[in-house]
Structure formats: C-alpha cells, structure tokens
Amino acid sequence: MIALTIKVRYCAGAYVTSTINKKRASCTSSAEAAARNLADKLFGASVQRVEEVERQPDDPVGVSWWRVVLAETGMESSPECQP
C-alpha cells in the first residue's frame, strides 16, 4: 500500500491543501473535497480512497489531515516509488 498524508487548513472561507510537487487544491465545500482534488491532480485514477486522519491535540483550529491511499499497481517496487 502506498499512502500520502495531506494537511488541509480552513482559511478565508476555503479549505486549502498543503503544496506537494508544486500543486495544491482548494474547495469551499469541505476539507475532504480539497484533499480529493489534490489527490486527483497528483495521481489521477490511481487514487483508491481519501480518509481523514485523527487530529492531534496540538493541531491548530481549522487544520485537518487526510490520507490518500493509492491502488496497488505493481509499481511499488519501482525505484521512483521508494521513499
């Protein structure tokens, strides 16, 4: 399983993701939609699911964390996919 965690913050009426590979996304309806939009930009059809990660007690108000899980593609052993 390959997974990526995305930080989403609420700012000025929109949910805005962190920047990853010079890309970010925003949405006015929900943090989940913003995270899904960024996941789609980065990985397209490889996205299996987007799920909320439990907040930590020291997270500021308006911040949430989302895990993007990618479908198994057989590319996991490729050197480009290694951390």
**For residue 81, what pLDDT is reported?**
46
Q: Is the dihedral of CA 33, 38, 40, 46 positive or negative?
A: negative
Pair 72, 4: CB distance under 8 Å:
no
Residue-wise DSSP of 34-59 = HHHHHHHHHHGGGEEEEEEEPPPTTP
pLDDT band at residue 67 using 50, 70 and 90 as cut-offs: very high
Report the pLDDT value the prediction gives residue 33, as an integer from 0 to 100: 98
Predicted confidence at residue 25, as pLDDT, reads 98
User: At residue 41, what are phi and psi to the nearest 5 degrees?
Assistant: -65, -40
Contacts of 44 (CB under 8 A, 6+ apart): none
Q: Average pLDDT of 49-75? A: 89
Residue 79 clears pLDDT 90, i.e. is over it: no
Report pLDDT digits (tens) over 7-32: 999 999 999 999 999 999 999 999 99
Residue 1 — pLDDT band, cuts 50, 70, 90? confident
